[in-house]
Copies of this chain bind each other. A is one copy, B any other.
Amino acid sequence: MSETVSKQKALENLQKDADNIRYLLKKQRSFLCLTECPAFEEVADTRIYGFTCEVHFAVSCGFLTLANGKKMIRELEDDLDDIRDEAFRGQEGRNE
């Protein structure tokens, strides 16, 4: 194990984790929204909290600025909102 880690690698890992969360929520959205949406909110909130802790740590290490960290979190939140809205619209379409 080397004594330093490149910023590039750390940022790639952070981005990969955000994409995993997007993928997970997208895959589960129909299931989560079939039962009742609070389940989607809970899973999304928990995942965003975990990602926020990762970003907080990455910022404290100097991998990225606080502003860029907040931007990554906001983008993830917006994407998860879109995923939930899509699932909700899809469900409404089926109920008509």
Instruction: Please give the number of chain A residues whose Cβ is less than 8 angstroms from any Cβ of chain B in the complex.
Output: 29
How many identical subunits does the complex contain?
2
Question: For window 32-72 of chain A, which residues contact chain B by CB distance below 8 Å?
Answer: 46, 49-54, 56-58, 60-63, 65
B3, B8, B46, B57: the one contacting A58 at CB < 8 Å is B57
Main SS at interface, chain A:
helix
The reply to whether B7 and A62 contact each other, CB–CB distance below 8 Å, is no
A-B contact pairs, 25 of them (CB 8 A): A1-B62, A1-B65, A3-B6, A3-B7, A3-B8, A4-B4, A4-B7, A5-B62, A5-B63, A9-B61, A9-B62, A13-B57, A13-B61, A14-B57, A16-B60, A17-B57, A17-B60, A46-B49, A50-B53, A51-B53, A53-B53, A53-B54, A54-B54, A54-B56, A57-B57
